[in-house]
Structure 1
Amino acid sequence: MKAIYRILIALVLLASAIASYSKGIQSGVFLFIILGLVLEGAFWFGLFPIKRRKGT
């Protein structure tokens, strides 16, 4: 069940980033482009999480 939520959240983030880019380009509002970058970054960092080593 956890994998389904991860996939669903990733798809929502990607769709939101694409919609934000589209709105920013159409309206010329740079804030939407920044929001798209943030959402896309959240998508990629969520897709490939940073793995930390346990113990040394």
Structure 2
Amino acid sequence: MKTLYRVLILIALLVAAIASYSVGSQTGMFAFIILGFLLEGAFWLGLFPAKKR
């Protein structure tokens, strides 16, 4: 079940990043592009978590 939640959160982050990039490019608001960048970063960090020793 933990894997399912992780996958759903990653999909939600990716969709939110794409939506933010889209709104930022249409309206020209740089804040949405920065938000998209942060959401995409969260997606990539969640996709490859740090390995425990």
What band does the TM-score fall into relative to the shorter chain? over 0.9
The count of aligned residue pairs is 53
Aligned Cα root-mean-square deviation (Å): 0.6
Equivalence map 1:20-39=2 (5 Å): 20-39=20-39
More helix per residue: 2
The percent identity for this pair of structures is 66
Q: CA deviation at 1:52?
A: 3.2
Q: CA deviation at 1:8?
A: 0.2
- In structure 2, what is the Cα distance between the partners aligned to 1:52 and 1:12? 25
Partner of 2:19: 19
Rg bigger for which structure? 1
Q: Normalising by structure 1, what TM-score?
A: 0.91
- In structure 2, what is the Cα distance between the partners aligned to 1:50 and 1:41? 14
Q: Which runs of 5+ in 1 are unaligned?
A: none
Runs of 4+ in 1 over 4 A off after TM superposition: none
Q: Which runs of 5+ in 2 are unaligned?
A: none
